[in-house]
Homo-oligomer: A and B are copies of this chain.
């Protein structure tokens, strides 16, 4: 990839470290108003309320929502990058953004086949390029033929290009050992997030005066807490069992749902498998129990399965909720559920392309019509995002010209991630006061760490939660940006953080070594 290296050196002379663009983002402002009853009186107004749209009369759901993955630590990380650029001396040269699952930003190379197909559908002159192989041209042609006017510039149906939805269905069917998948149940979306938000929005309603409840694992991926707040739903926490490798215990689900019924009507159960931020992989038996629980309690299952390709534990394998549910037979096979997938994760890491899909099972036809109507006002998801999904579900097959390179690139990424998962787990477990469950899947470690009383005292003085205090100290002293456990949820009195395992292997080694030094220093400072 000489071109890439050359480009990178053009972008940032002197290295191929991930380039981090500088930008300014305003400070995070937290609001806690739950209902807004404001009188606007122009003559009496203060300077601030001279504005038509003020923090007082803003959508209260947006005020309370939080999204830790891009929270105050990330804002500070960006400031530090700007300081470094201005020549401010720091004990480190670069900020390492281990806060977000952004593979390419951390140096992962795109899959060649994907990029060839995407460039071809956009630029049809390349069909004449003899360097581009026939399988790439065939894929691109099929996608273009699925668009109106043979252009990626035309709108698609709201649920996405039909031929791509057919390929998705075929892919799911093959993944699930032949269990049928219907293209009409597939919605192509703006990453998985777009589909998750569209589906969650359906549940915003008052039932017997109570809000709808959404059960989410704790720790959870903050897209859920943010969207639940945005749609005025009630978050129902169920705790994963850290002592059992972040296992999902049915008794805990029972406790959570029973408690929740006092204040809301639980209607959705979110399961993230493999887990984010916790990296566990559910067993088939566990999935069966969860399905039975959801059936008994009348919960619509959201199976967040975006990390289905990211399994590193040799004794684990991915079981899709859909497959298990169908194989359990009636009445379970008739249950309403949605499964979400993305091009952002797996071995692809194409986050910026914003492609994803949902498979929606057993939804009432009139409700599905409403869902399609709601997404039609967003017109359609990006055609390039849709084409990227096609590359995933219709990847090169043995014998095709692109196969050899494709399988090599894919395998390299996944094997390297497996090594990194093991390296991170092992290293954190060697730190004083740390315990880290194995990263069985996904892209994150979520270690627990003990803090000395003096550190907790210092955090209090700084007006920060102890885990945030620790993370800020790490950032200021090493440039490593992680997300405190409080952004994902953790048991009262415990401290965690999430770090990705995404820096390339040599970079990750350096990062963990810096982290080690920092931790020793921190512990001796506050012992």
Q: What residues make up the interface of A, taking CB atoms closer than 8 Å to B?
A: 1, 3-4, 6-8, 10-12, 18-29, 31, 35-40, 42, 48, 51-55, 57-63, 65-67, 70, 97, 100, 102-110, 115-116, 118-120, 122-129, 131, 141, 144-159, 161-163, 165, 184, 190-191, 193-194, 197, 201-209, 222-223, 226-227, 230-231, 265, 267, 298-300, 336, 348-354, 362-374, 376-385
Q: Are B146 and A24 in contact (CB under 8 A)?
A: no
Closest 6 CB pairs of A and B: A105-B148, A119-B123, A352-B383, A11-B145, A104-B151, A119-B119
Chain B min CB distance to A333 (Å): 14
Report chain B residues within 8 Å CB of A119.
118-120, 122-123, 126
Docked complex Cα distance between A18 and B25 (Å):
44
Q: Are B127 and A123 in contact (CB under 8 A)?
A: no
Docked complex Cα distance between A362 and B54 (Å):
12
- Indicate whether A35 sits within 8 Å of B197 (C-beta atoms), given known contacts A110-B153, A153-B351: no
Given contacts A11-B141, A18-B149, A53-B203, 19 further A-B contacts (CB under 8 A): A10-B141, A19-B149, A21-B163, A24-B184, A29-B373, A31-B370, A35-B206, A37-B209, A57-B205, A104-B149, A104-B151, A110-B151, A115-B123, A118-B119, A119-B126, A153-B349, A201-B230, A352-B382, A353-B383
Report chain B residues within 8 Å CB of A58.
202, 205, 367, 370
Q: Are A370 and B298 in contact (CB under 8 A)?
A: no
Docked complex Cα distance between A26 and B208 (Å):
30
Closest B residue by C-beta to A20: B148
Q: Are A105 and B18 in contact (CB under 8 A)?
A: no
Q: Are A3 and B38 in contact (CB under 8 A)?
A: no
Q: Are A122 and B122 in contact (CB under 8 A)?
A: yes
Report chain B residues within 8 Å CB of A24.
184
Docked complex Cα distance between A178 and B336 (Å):
56
Docked complex Cα distance between A299 and B354 (Å):
34
Docked complex Cα distance between A152 and B11 (Å):
14
Q: Are A149 and B299 in contact (CB under 8 A)?
A: no
Q: Are A352 and B152 in contact (CB under 8 A)?
A: yes
Q: Are A60 and B21 in contact (CB under 8 A)?
A: no
Report chain B residues within 8 Å CB of A70.
158, 373, 376
Report chain B residues within 8 Å CB of A155.
100, 102, 105, 351-352
A18, A150, A299, A362: most-surrounded residue (chain B CB, <10 A)? A150
Q: Are A382 and B367 in contact (CB under 8 A)?
A: no
Docked complex Cα distance between A151 and B105 (Å):
7
Closest B residue by C-beta to A201: B59
Q: Are B102 and A148 in contact (CB under 8 A)?
A: yes
Q: Are A205 and B60 in contact (CB under 8 A)?
A: yes
Chain B min CB distance to A225 (Å): 9
